[in-house]
Amino acid sequence: MLTISTGNNAVAAAVREAGTGVVAAYPITPQTEIVEQIANFVTKGSMKASYIPVESEHSAMAACIGASITGIRTFTATSSHGLLYMNEMVNWAAAARLPIVMANVNRALGPGWNVWAEHTDSLQARDTGWLQVYVATVQEAYDATLMAFRIAEDRRVYLPVMVNLDGFTLSHITQQLEDVKIGDFIPPLVLDHKIDPAHPGGYGCMTSSVDYVRIRSDIERSMRDSVEVIRETEAEFAKRFGRSYSWTDDYRCEDAEVLILSMGTLGKEAEVAIDILRSEGVKAGSMRVRWIRPFPNLDLGDRELVVIDRNYSFGFGGILAGSIRAKTGKTCYNVIAGLGGQEVTYHDIASFVRNRKIGTEEWFGVKI
């Protein structure tokens, strides 16, 4: 059915449609609407689940861990300081091989207090063993959340998935949303290692380095296997529901000589910038990177790259630019833009391309 929705409500609707059994969450702007909406669904009976109103984000992820290990479908949502506060358990969830799905509404980190969009929060969790996808539209937030459950719960993966959407510029905007009847798109969860009194034993007890290395390497093996699972899931989603997704969302890239790479809603803004640049005769294209973990194989050819990072790793640089350089050996013009919700228009993005100085980094709006 075609309706209109905010990004947050789209995520909540997907969590209900997926048949989630336990949701444990703690409010934080700009994520709060997701958990309010889910609490509402559960109270009104349109969602048969247990909603645990925990006292902190650390406990939110802890409760998800306790629930997920019984083999039930589990979800939480957070943002910014909430994600940082739960970080210990975020790492734990992945190493415990639990297919928890979490929506993170991307927000800047304090001080100073700032509730607006930035990706530094979730990118700090990039080494935890979670799969991470970044979305740019309300529809994509909905679709990616549904697919996240199927990917996480696949026996080849058994890793948690984080769906990231920009605070306010996606969480709170209203766009059209075509919802789906999920049917058997997400098979019932079968967790091989679920906790069961019929199988006594220590889960996560003390472990020798020999076994520890084996167990850690298995996380990476699954991370690599998830590439195929993501491909299959997105293909099956397209077949059933008619919307296609991939590692990147490409716009006019085929004959492009210069590419803008970005994440989240700025990637949609970049598409307008591409049209402006094309009208000026610049052969530009936009590649919005969706999956950050596993990191995609990017086919960049010998095109010039302008990478917009809405995040920063102090003492290092923009994280997307750094990752691209590490994976492809290519240098770029790295623009740090949109921190703390800084306004970045498509005109600004077009000017990044016009003024590019490959091999350098620039902070939009300030000189350092």
Partner 1 sequence: MKNIRVLTLMPTVPDTEYIHKCTSACAGCSSDLILRHVLKAAGPDTVLVVPACCTSVLQGVYPNTSFGIPVYNVAFASAAAVASGMAAAFEELGKNTNVIAYAGDGGTVDIGIQALSGALERGTNFLYICYDNEAYGNTGMQRSGSTPLGARTTTTPGGKPHQKKDLDRIIAAHHLPYMATSCSAYPQDIVRKVEKALSIKGPKFLHILAPCPPGWRYDTAKTIEVGKLAVRSGMWAMYEREYDTLTLSGQTKAAMMKPAPLEEYLKIQGRFSGLKPDTIAEIRQSMERNLRLLKKEAEGTC
Measured between alpha carbons, how far is residue 53 from residues 8, 50, 188, 268 in Å? 18, 10, 25, 35
Minimum gap (Å) between residue 128 Cβ and partner 1 = 13
Give yes or no for residue 45 binding partner 1 (CB under 8 A): no
Stretch that binds partner 1, among 2-10, 195-203, 253-261, 303-311 (CB under 8 A): 195-203
Give the one residue of 115, 182, 195, 238 binding partner 1; rule: CB under 8 A: 195
Q: Which residue has the tokens 């019984």?
A: 70
Residue 214 or 231: the one with the smaller Cβ distance to partner 1 is: 214
β pairing state of 50-52 and 22-24: parallel
Give yes or no for residue 289 binding partner 1 (CB under 8 A): no
Residue pair 95/65 in contact by the 8 Å Cβ criterion: no
Give the one residue of 21, 82, 99, 338 binding partner 1; rule: CB under 8 A: 21
Give the one residue of 201, 242, 281, 329 binding partner 1; rule: CB under 8 A: 201
SS3 260: strand
List residues bridging with 134 in a β-sheet: 164
Measured between alpha carbons, how far is residue 57 from residues 49, 88, 111 in Å? 19, 10, 19
DSSP string computed for 60-114: HHHHHHHHHTTT--EEEEE-HHHHHHTHHHHHHHHHTT---EEEEEE---SSSP-
Residue 205 or 326: the one with the smaller Cβ distance to partner 1 is: 205
Give the one residue of 54, 84, 272, 282 binding partner 1; rule: CB under 8 A: 54
For residues 61-90, which are near partner 1 according to CB under 8 A?
Answer: 62-72, 74, 88-89
Size of the site for partner 1 (CB under 8 A): 42
**DSSP 8-state class, residue 35:** H
Minimum gap (Å) between residue 150 Cβ and partner 1 = 20
* Site of interaction with partner 1 (CB under 8 A): 21-22, 24, 49-50, 52-56, 58-60, 62-72, 74, 88-89, 92, 195-197, 199-208, 211
